[in-house]
Amino acid sequence: MTESKRIGILTSGGDCAGLNTVLRAVVHDAAGRGWTVMGIEHGTQGLMESPPRATRLDPSEFDGTIMRRGGTMLGSSNYGNPFAYPQLDGPDLDRSGEVIAGYKALGLDALIGIGGDGSIAILNKLAEKGGLNLVCIPKTIDNDVSSTEVSIGYDTAVEVATDALDMLQPTAASHDRVIILEVMGRDAGHIALVAGIAGGADVILIPEIPYRIANIVKKIRSIQASGRRFALVVVAEAVPNEAGNKIVQKYAGGRSAYGGIGHLLGDRLAETTRAEVRVTVLGHVQRGAAPDARDRLMASIFGVHAVELIAQGKFGRMVAWQNRQVVDIPIEEAVAAPALVDIDGPVVRTARQLGICLGDE
Ligand code: F6P
pLDDT in tens, 189-219: 999 999 999 999 999 999 999 999 999 999 9
Ligand 1: centre distance to CA 284 (Å): 8
Same domain, 239 and 164: yes
Q: Which residues of 278-309 are buried (b: 16+ CB within 10 A; e: fewer)?
A: bbbbbeebbbbbbbbebbbebbbbbbbbbbbb
Residues 6+ apart with CB under 8 A from 346: none
Which contiguous run of DSSP H or E holds residue 233?
A: strand 231-236
Q: How does residue 253 score in pLDDT terms, banded at 50, 70 and 90?
A: confident
Q: How does residue 2 score in pLDDT terms, banded at 50, 70 and 90?
A: low
* Mutational test site, ligand 1, from 15, 78, 256, max ligand atoms within 8 Å of CB: 78
Ligand 1: centre distance to CA 247 (Å): 14
Coil vs helix vs strand at 10: strand
Amino acid symbol at 143 = N
Which contiguous run of DSSP H or E holds residue 334?
A: helix 331-335
Same domain, 10 and 147: yes
pTM: 0.97
Question: How much is the mean pLDDT over the chain?
Answer: 96
Q: How does residue 82 score in pLDDT terms, banded at 50, 70 and 90?
A: very high
Q: What is the CATH number of the domain that holds 114?
A: 3.40.50.450
Domain that holds residue 216: 155-286+342-353
Same domain, 136 and 221: no
Query: Which residues partner with 94 through β-bridges?
Result: none
Ligand 1: centre distance to CA 237 (Å): 10
Whether residue 9 contacts residue 40, with contact meaning beta carbons closer than 8 Å, is answered with yes
Ligand 1: centre distance to CA 258 (Å): 8
Same domain, 221 and 255: yes
Has residue 335 been placed in a domain? Answer: no
> What one-character DSSP code corresponds to residue 94?
-
Has residue 181 been placed in a domain? Answer: yes
* pLDDT score recorded for residue 255: 87
Any atom of ligand 1 within 6 Å of the Cβ of 154? no
- CA 204 vs CA 51, 139, 241, 246: distances in Å: 49, 24, 15, 17
Same domain, 183 and 261: yes
* Mutational test site, ligand 1, from 79, 141, 158, 255, max ligand atoms within 8 Å of CB: 141
Evaluate if residue 67 carries a pLDDT over 70. yes
Q: Classify residue 34 as exposed, middle or buried by CB count within 10 Å of its CB (0-12, 13-18, 19+).
A: exposed
User: Is position 142 annotated as part of the catalytic site?
Assistant: yes
Same domain, 261 and 296: no
List the residue whose alpha carbon is closest to atom 16 of ligand 1.
Answer: 257
Same domain, 183 and 37: no
Report the half-sphere exposure of 284 (CA within 13 A, side-chain side). Answer: 6
Evaluate if residue 318 carries a pLDDT over 70. yes
Coil vs helix vs strand at 360: coil
Which of ligand 1's atoms lies nearest the C-alpha of 184? Answer: 6
Question: What average pLDDT does range 236-263 have in this prediction?
Answer: 94
Q: Quote the number of domains for the chain.
A: 2
Same domain, 32 and 97: yes
- pLDDT tens digits for range 110-129: 999 999 999 999 999 999 99
Any atom of ligand 1 within 6 Å of the Cβ of 77? no
Any atom of ligand 1 within 6 Å of the Cβ of 185? yes
Whether residue 189 contacts residue 339, with contact meaning beta carbons closer than 8 Å, is answered with no
Evaluate if residue 336 carries a pLDDT over 70. yes
Any atom of ligand 1 within 6 Å of the Cβ of 190? no
Q: What is the CATH number of the domain that holds 234?
A: 3.40.50.460
Same domain, 11 and 45: yes
Across the beta sheet with 317-322, the strand order is 54-57, 36-40, 6-11, 110-115, 134-138, 317-322, 325-330
Same domain, 258 and 298: no
Evaluate if residue 1 carries a pLDDT over 60. no
- pLDDT tens digits for range 19-60: 999 999 999 999 999 999 999 999 999 999 999 999 999 999
Evaluate if residue 18 carries a pLDDT over 70. yes
- pLDDT tens digits for range 146-155: 999 999 999 9
One DSSP character per residue, 172-230 reads HHHHTEEEEEEE--SS--HHHHHHHHHTT-SEEE-TTS---HHHHHHHHHHHHHTT---
Has residue 271 been placed in a domain? Answer: yes
* Mutational test site, ligand 1, from 151, 282, 285, 287, max ligand atoms within 8 Å of CB: 287
Same domain, 199 and 348: yes
Evaluate if residue 316 carries a pLDDT over 70. yes
Q: Among residues 142, 144, 295, 328, which one is catalytic?
A: 142
